[in-house]
């Protein structure tokens, strides 16, 4: 669905963390060595609840900031890309 809309897609492993800010700002490098593409905070809880209630779950993520380059998206960019993600997720759920 995303590719049909010319939206860039990456498929791979993501680290779920319970902390927003790490003590070591370079801790991502350790996980990158294992092929981790991103860090986020919600997917583990989503999958845990899905397993508990025996339902399917899928995490569709949009990158907002880069730990590698330290680039951050503007609020306007976030709004546009997050809207695209929501459209893809809604079509996927149909």
Asked about 65 being catalytic, the answer comes back as: yes
Q: Which two tokens stand for residue 50?
A: 């899905």
List of residues 6+ apart from 54 with CB closer than 8 A: none
3-state helix, strand, coil in the chain (%, to 5): 40, 10, 50
Catalytic residue among 18, 23, 24, 65: 65
Positions marked catalytic: 65
């Amino acid at each position: 669905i995303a590719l049909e809309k010319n939206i860039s897609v990456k498929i791979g492993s993501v680290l779920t963390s319970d902390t927003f800010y790490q003590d070591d700002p370079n801790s991502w490098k350790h996980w990158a060595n294992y092929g981790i593409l991103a860090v986020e905070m919600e997917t583990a809880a989503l999958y845990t609840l899905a397993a508990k209630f025996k339902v399917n779950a899928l995490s569709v993520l949009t990158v907002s900031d880069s730990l590698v380059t330290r680039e951050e998206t503007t609020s306007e960019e976030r709004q546009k890309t997050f809207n695209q993600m929501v459209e893809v997720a809604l079509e996927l759920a149909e």
